[in-house]
Amino acid sequence: MIYCTSALCATTLGRVFILHSTIGNRKVPLTLLTFAILGISAISCDIERRKSDAELGLNAQQAAGRHLYDEYCDRCHAPYSSRGRKGPSMKHVFKQPYLPISGMPANDDRVTDVIKMGRNKMPAYGQVLTEQQIGDLLSYLHTL
């Protein structure tokens, strides 16, 4: 292999020039470094491929709720984790007896109230979402 410091890989007279970097006193092809970094990142990363609505087994109402969740809720409430988000995770929200921060009962009525009127740092969506959309959103939350 011939190493070069050009910005692009190119072929000249049948020779392939490959980008490289120096680690210690050894030249290492950047493609090798790239794959090594990506491999380490993949091992240390806990992000999964996003499943489709069909893979999750969502019906039409739940799928509509998922799309609303993506648009309005996901920026603060991760569906399966709370890392890096302002609000609590929605994972198993209806499988617990009480909502995580407020301690209110985890039922459709209380969650609907929070969605419509907001609470603490959460904005109100009562003027943004229709009753049907809130129902769709609740239907999706029950799948988490």
Of the listed ranges 47-61, 93-107, 130-144, the least confidently predicted one is 47-61
Q: Compute how many other C-beta atoms are within 10 angstroms of the C-beta atom of residue 20.
A: 19
Condensed to tens digits (0 to 9), the pLDDT of residues 83-131 reads: 667 788 888 889 989 987 788 899 999 999 999 999 888 899 999 999 9
Nearest to 106, CA basis, from 80, 144, 136: 144
Lookup: tokens for 143 = 């799948």
Domain extents for the chain?
A: 2-44, 53-141
Model pTM score: 0.63
Considering only the top CATH level, what class is 53-141? Answer: mainly alpha
Q: Is 126 exposed, middle or buried (0-12, 13-18, 19+ CB in 10 A)?
A: middle
Condensed to tens digits (0 to 9), the pLDDT of residues 2-20 reads: 434 433 444 444 444 455 5
